[in-house]
Structure 1
């Protein structure tokens, strides 16, 4: 039996003995990295009570999924370099969700209770105005629509809207497959109307919403022109 085959066999036996499905082991591994910070494969194997080859195999899978990253470090700045594994930002967002949306809703509801619903609408419109001001230099009025749209994709991607463009019969559509503000948008509709008004001003053409995630549809689709 070659060393590679032996390592794989040991890894499989370790998991079988523990009665732990591979996905559950990966979840436990991510939880350990969250709780204890970056660690070596040997440290993780000891905590999981599996062999080092089994831990490395799971870490390789998690790296391929973009959930784990590796750095080469020297213990105490000296000695033999070792591979230290830690969570990526993607893993933090996907596996350990934050409660930012709930906090935002709580704040806006408190503003509404104290100062009325009009005050909330004013706050959300002001937020949209600030974003419009940031994008204005990127999308000057004289720029052709297609170029404006292609320039807009980058900032919208960074903001988490997962956008793409579609064209049919010479007419463009901007499609947003994700809404990072969905919980807020469902409760405060002015956020969506302010977004559509912003696109109308930035792109310089009529904008029609054909799909709306806040109403349960799969995307926010804007027909332009």
Structure 2
């Protein structure tokens, strides 16, 4: 049994959502942006909340790759399909096609910079087309460096490590900086002994 709190996909406010840790909620059939230095950790938390396989697209030129031990803490082995692309434009094209196919619930694209409005709109349309097939309700996660800024995303989330956490404990500050149907909000995410706990924090 996983030591982490249940991470489930469930309806929220009448719309199907991917939810994690009780308060993180992302509407399905849309594209969302994760930014900040801890964006990969946040993507892993959300991947653990999703069901089924996860396609993770990353630049071929990027150093490193997701650590197997960290992946194993967040999702069952064999769920991750890791793919590389040689150009940033190819990352977006591959993400669009994966969403349009409607066979994978979650598609992650690790981008070198925030994309403009037109490619993001295409991702929304591709997810809608994939959902119409009826196999799943796909969701796209765009990972961008720094403060992000992708135009037209459904939500934007920023996560960064907190300085000087307690010994044996990891802490992050999570902010919902943009959402079409929710106000800005902040949380503190703590991990102790493999257990994640999310608590509300004040907005700066």
TM-score (norm 2): 0.25
Mark the structure with the bigger radius of gyration.
1
Which one has a larger percent helix, Structure 1 or Structure 2? 1
TM-score (norm 1): 0.23
Which one has a larger percent strand, Structure 1 or Structure 2? 2
- Using CA pairs below 8 Å that are at least 6 residues apart, which structure has the higher relative contact order? 2
